[in-house]
Amino acid sequence: MTKQCTHIQEILDAQKDIIERHIDQHKWFNQIDNREQAACDFIEKYGFIMREFYCSRICRERFDCELAQKYEPK
């Protein structure tokens, strides 16, 4: 089993693409003035979902990776 993610850059690239597509709507909907603050808020609220989706559905090593198992946010 993998104990360290070897696809972290791929995860980050996927998250960046998702944020870029949705940040303006998120900013408007949450009445956030600053785009950077909106990105931080988006990551805080949805980052675990993006990671879990990538790791459990997209990553080619997901069946052998203990990190791809269900994530429990704090």
Per-residue pLDDT tens over the stretch 19-74: 999 999 999 999 999 999 999 999 999 988 888 888 888 888 888 887 766 656 55
More confident residue, 73 or 9: 9
The pLDDT, as a whole number, for residue 69 is 63
The pLDDT, as a whole number, for residue 73 is 59
Q: 3-state DSSP call for residue 28?
A: helix
The pLDDT, as a whole number, for residue 70 is 60
* Entry pTM: 0.72
The pLDDT, as a whole number, for residue 58 is 86
CA distance 66 to 68: 5
Q: Do residues 42 and 30 touch, judged by C-beta distance below 8 A?
A: no
Domain ranges of the chain: 8-68
